[in-house]
Amino acid sequence: MTWKRVIVSAVVIAAYTALMLLLPCTKNTSFRDIGGDIPCWILFAVMIIANCKTAKEASAKTFVFFLISQPLIYLFQVPFSALGWGLFGYYPPWFVYTLLTLPGAWIGWHVRKKGILSGVILTPMLFLLASCGCSYFRTTVHAFPYELLSGIFCFAVIVLFLAVLLTEKKQRITAVLLTALLTSADIFYECRTSAGSVSFPLPETVSGTDITEVLVSDPDHVSVDTEELKEDHMDVAVRKPGEYEIRLIGADGQELALYDVNAFYLENGALKVECELKESE
């Protein structure tokens, strides 16, 4: 991997990414994911790392590749975007990622060595790909075929890395087991914490100070922020699509308000939450 190839690749890939983000026909397709998600960029980084002779070379060339390509993606879009130079407001996180390639590529280069340590070193990259892939497929399930190609891409790259970068069976077993463990933990955490939400003021006839109890039809999947209720404001979080009820109860056991809650997935896979006041006394 010569310096010329690194620089040319950075410019060409930046131009391609900008084109995918600008073309109207790519809207709501997996082809735009290259502009904001990391799976493709993990592949590019590993391709550079795998073709370098030393860890220092891998670190330097991967850093320069990102340092050139990421700003160019925004620069190429500036003349065609309503945001203009404001597009660079999206760059700071990618600059952080660019800085992280310096130690990341240096460590990643050692995946070519023998022993199970190579499997351990490859695991973070496999985990990131698996995590993104699972996220894509979750979206696909609720809004088929949205993100289907991106999900397939992530797991195809995982198979490629296992087959090409690791040469020993024990390395592959180590990487697969660790990746499966981390991905399972990530999925469990996401299932417990990810939620759609809605926020709105209480009816004029209901005061937060009058509410002594909140009854939810399914407390495992729906929650109400009781602290916000004290400010005459209601925050509802829902972790699973469906229809629910929320009842606000006063000091004497009287029902102050009844809400119907409807949670459903949008076309982009986001969980939308709607609340409708049914009764207010």
**Mean per-residue pLDDT, 21-40:** 91
Task: Give the range of the structural domain holding residue 38, as residue numbers without chain letter.
Answer: 3-193
Listed residues 193, 223, 257: the one ending a domain:
193
- Beta-sheet pairing, 233-238 with 255-265: unpaired
Q: What is the pLDDT of residue 268?
A: 60
Same domain, 178 and 204: no
230 or 250, which is more confident?
250
Domain count, the chain: 2
Same domain, 7 and 127: yes
**Mean per-residue pLDDT, 197-217:** 88
What single letter denotes the amino acid at residue 32?
A: R
- Integer Cα distance of 67 and 72 in angstroms: 9
**Mean per-residue pLDDT, 118-139:** 93
**Mean per-residue pLDDT, 247-275:** 85
Same domain, 180 and 208: no
Same domain, 49 and 120: yes
- Integer Cα distance of 113 and 125 in angstroms: 16
Q: What global pTM score does this model have?
A: 0.74
Q: Please say if the pLDDT value at position 280 is more than 90.
A: no
What single letter denotes the amino acid at residue 229?
A: L
226 or 126, which is more confident?
126
Residue 164: HSE in the Cβ half-sphere, 13 Å Cα cutoff: 12
Same domain, 268 and 133: no
Q: What is the pLDDT of residue 281?
A: 45
**Mean per-residue pLDDT, 244-260:** 91
**Mean per-residue pLDDT, 212-233:** 89
Q: What is the pLDDT of residue 177?
A: 97
Same domain, 210 and 250: yes
- Integer Cα distance of 7 and 25 in angstroms: 29
Q: Please say if the pLDDT value at position 74 is more than 60.
A: yes
- Integer Cα distance of 132 and 151 in angstroms: 7
Verify cis geometry, omega within 30 degrees of 0, for the bond prior to 93. Answer: no
Average pLDDT over the chain reads 91
Listed residues 151, 171, 193: the one ending a domain:
193
